């Protein structure tokens, strides 16, 4: 049975727990910028007393164009993420694309993320589950844009087969046609039926795939994030950047850093209301 809540460096993510926020830039552009964003996020988390995991990718291996910026690579990227943890105290997460990357990432990051496009790759899922079990960290699997939320149970079982019970599932929209993702909030309670806490990815959900580079509509982030928290998600994933339009990856989808504090305040207030209702309701909730 999956763990619920999942514990991440003292943070608790799951049923009747405070929201967990997964925040950071899409990709590690430079050491200096990454550390600056991490410090600003840490300051917001301390001021608002919220649970935050810092996120940044060391390699954007699934870019649309061969010419797109990918990041500093595994070794340099993990050195920067380790420095983020050492200087800010924030736990970190990043995504892996090959089974051979799992152990190195699990040593440094408290959450190892499986990208949506790769979530059905059994060897990758098992490698992440085994490595995170070894180092006491957590697996976060993003729901592919092309499968039904109920089918995520099979991916959870792949993790459980290794003995790993600390699994998060992430909703990030579904593709039904060309160049647009549809967000069905029913996915959140459906995936929670697996027993796992569910994360809502509010920034990748506004992507507009297609063309040489992926577009997006960041104006929709607050609307979708509020709806997801009202629907009972246990964590919110939001990529953020001080100047999204200058970012080499996913700029149209990122929340400006100046807007992050207000967004967190709104979502936290909604979560308090939802927890109060769920604690009092006679409808049974999924628990470990």
pLDDT (tens digit per residue) in 125-183? 999 999 999 999 999 999 999 999 999 999 999 999 999 999 999 999 998 877 788 99
Query: Under 8 Å CB-to-CB from 66, ≥6 apart: which residues?
Result: none
pLDDT at 58 over 70: yes
Number of neighbours of residue 188 by Cβ within 10 angstroms: 23
* C-beta of residue 131 within 8 angstroms of C-beta of residue 105: yes
**Which residues make beta-bridge pairs with 138?**
111
pLDDT (tens digit per residue) in 200-228? 999 999 988 765 566 788 999 999 999 99
- Mean residue pLDDT of the chain comes to 93
* Backbone φ, ψ for residue 69 (5° rounding): -65, 135
pLDDT of residue 283: 54
pLDDT of residue 288: 45
Give yes or no for a cis peptide into 134 (omega within 30° of 0): no
Q: What is the mean pLDDT of residues 267-272?
A: 98
Q: What's the CA gap between 255 and 25, in Å, rounded?
A: 9
Query: Under 8 Å CB-to-CB from 157, ≥6 apart: which residues?
Result: none
The ranges assigned to domains in the chain are 6-277
Task: Kindly state the tokens that stand for 98.
Answer: 């090959």
**Which residues make beta-bridge pairs with 111?**
93, 138
Q: 60-69, 220-229, 270-279: lowest mean pLDDT where?
A: 60-69
Is the model more confident about 81 or about 283? 81
Q: What percent of the chain has pLDDT over 70?
A: 93
Among 133, 126, 155, 132, CA closest to 143: 155
Q: Specify the CATH number for 6-277; select among 3.20.20.70, 3.40.50.300, 3.40.50.880, 3.30.300.30.
A: 3.20.20.70
66-100 core/surface letters (b: 16 or more CB in 10 A; e: else)? eeeebbbebeebbebbeebbeebebbbbbbbbebe
pLDDT (tens digit per residue) in 69-128? 788 999 999 999 999 999 999 999 999 999 999 999 999 999 999 999 999 999 999 999
Query: Under 8 Å CB-to-CB from 243, ≥6 apart: which residues?
Result: 256
């Amino acid at each position: 049975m999956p763990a619920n809540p999942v514990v991440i460096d003292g943070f608790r993510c799951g049923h009747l727990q405070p929201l967990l926020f997964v925040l950071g830039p899409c990709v590690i552009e430079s050491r200096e910028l990454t550390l600056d964003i991490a410090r600003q996020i840490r300051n917001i988390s301390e001021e608002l007393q919220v649970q935050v995991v810092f996120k940044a990718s060391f390699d954007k291996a699934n870019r649309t164009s061969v010419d797109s910026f990918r990041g500093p690579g595994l070794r340099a990227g993990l050195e920067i993420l380790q420095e983020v943890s050492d200087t800010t105290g924030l736990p970190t997460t990043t995504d892996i694309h090959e089974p051979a990357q799992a152990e190195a990432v699990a040593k440094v990051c408290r959450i190892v993320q499986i990208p949506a496009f790769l979530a059905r790759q059994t060897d990758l899922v098992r490698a992440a589950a085994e490595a995170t079990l070894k180092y006491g960290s957590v697996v976060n699997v993003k729901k592919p844009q092309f499968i039904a939320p109920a089918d995520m149970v099979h991916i959870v079982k792949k993790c459980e087969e290794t003995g790993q019970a600390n699994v998060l599932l992430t909703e990030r929209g579904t593709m039904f046609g060309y160049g647009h993702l549809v967000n069905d909030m029913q996915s959140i309670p459906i995936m929670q039926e697996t027993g796992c806490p569910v994360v809502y990815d509010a920034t990748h959900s506004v992507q507009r795939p297609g063309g040489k580079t992926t577009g997006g509509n960041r104006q929709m982030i607050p609307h979708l994030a509020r709806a997801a928290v009202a629907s009972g998600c246990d964590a919110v994933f939001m990529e953020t950047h001080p100047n999204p339009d200058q970012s080499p990856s996913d700029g149209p989808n990122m929340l400006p850093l100046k807007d992050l504090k207000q967004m967190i305040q709104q979502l936290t207030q909604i979560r308090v209301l939802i927890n109060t209702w769920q604690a009092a309701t006679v409808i049974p909730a999924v628990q470990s």
